[in-house]
Amino acid sequence: MEPHPPPPAPARRNFLAQAAAAVIGAITLVIPAASGLLVLLDPLRRKPAGGGAVFVANLAAVPAGGEPRKFPVLATRVDAWNRTPDVPVGAVYLQRLPDGGVRALNVACPHAGCFVDYKAARDNFHCPCHNSSFALDGRVLDPKSPSPRPLDSLETEVRGGTEVWVRFRNFRAGVHEKIPV
């Protein structure tokens, strides 16, 4: 390989050229980078669909004895460009209360989002992932449970004396406060 001749040292009056090269170089990179970043950040402005009350079950389907029963929540699911009506978007445990009302608990564990199970033998809820346990009203049972708060209760309404409607939402996992996502 033939040796390259060394370049002459830049003269001081070349400052303008150096600055211009740096600025132009930066501009050529900033525009594609910024346009890419904008699309990359787009999910930050996406809000979850729903939040309105949805019909979950008939009152007749909820056991009279107060035992919780799990029901899927059907709603319109929006997945980016797809909009699908009447598909399961989550699930709730419904329980009849002595005052005739219905309690609804989101099945997602407030710790990390696994679905809790109702354990008939122990009459409580248990999370199969990190062993949090909850009483029937959603309270944390075992103080060692990793869950930072009780199961998330949801607003319910019994319409016409027969239909249970639930304002279904999910809440941020892993924090003490119940913050809707």
Partner 1 sequence: MKPLDWLDQRTGYRKLAHEVLFENVPGGARWRYVWGSTLVFCFVLQVITGIALWFAYSPSSQTAWESVYYIQHEMWGGWFLRGLHHYTAQAMTVLLAVHLMQVVIDGAYKAPREFNFWSGIFLLCLTLGLSLTGYLLPWDQKGYWATRVATNILAITPFVGPELQQLVVGGADYGHHTLTRFFALHAGVIPGAIILFIVAHIYFFRRHGLTPKEPRRRPDAAFWPDQVLRDAVACLAVLAVVVFLVVRNRGAELGAPADPSEPFPAARPEWYFLFLFEFLKYFPGGTEVWGAIVIPGLLMALLAAMPFIGNWRLGHRFNVAFLWIVLAGSGWLTWLALAEDRANPDHAIAVAAAQREAQRVVELARSPAGIPATGAVTLLRQDPLTQGPKLFARHCASCHRFDGHDGLGGQPKDAASAADLKGFASREWLAGLLDPARVATPHYFGGTKFKNGKMVKYVREDVAEYGPEDRKLLEFTIAALSAEAGLKAQRDIDRRDEALIVQGREALVGPRMNCADCHVFRGTGDAVGPELTGYGSREWLVAFIGNAAHPRFYGERNDRMPLFGEDKVITPGELGLIVDWLRGEWFVPPPAATR
Provide, rounded to whole angstroms, the least separation between the CB of residue 24 and partner 1. 26
Radius of gyration, alpha carbons of the chain = 28
Q: What's at 8, amino acid-wise?
A: P
Check if the beta carbon of residue 135 is closer than 8 Å to that of residue 141.
yes
| Residue among 10 and 35 whose Cβ is closer to partner 1 | 35
Provide, rounded to whole angstroms, the least separation between the CB of residue 101 and partner 1. 19
Provide, rounded to whole angstroms, the least separation between the CB of residue 180 and partner 1. 10
SS3 23: helix
| Residue among 15 and 55 whose Cβ is closer to partner 1 | 55
| Residue among 15 and 119 whose Cβ is closer to partner 1 | 119
What residues line the site for partner 1 (CB under 8 A)? 1, 40-41, 43-44, 46-48, 57-58, 60-61, 63, 67, 69-70, 72-73, 78-82, 84, 88-91, 107, 111-115, 117, 120-121, 128-132, 140, 143-149, 162, 172-176, 181
SS3 34: helix
Q: How far is CA 65 from the centre of its chain?
A: 32
DSSP state of 142: S
Cβ atoms within 10 A of the Cβ of 87, count? 12
Provide, rounded to whole angstroms, the least separation between the CB of residue 17 and partner 1. 31
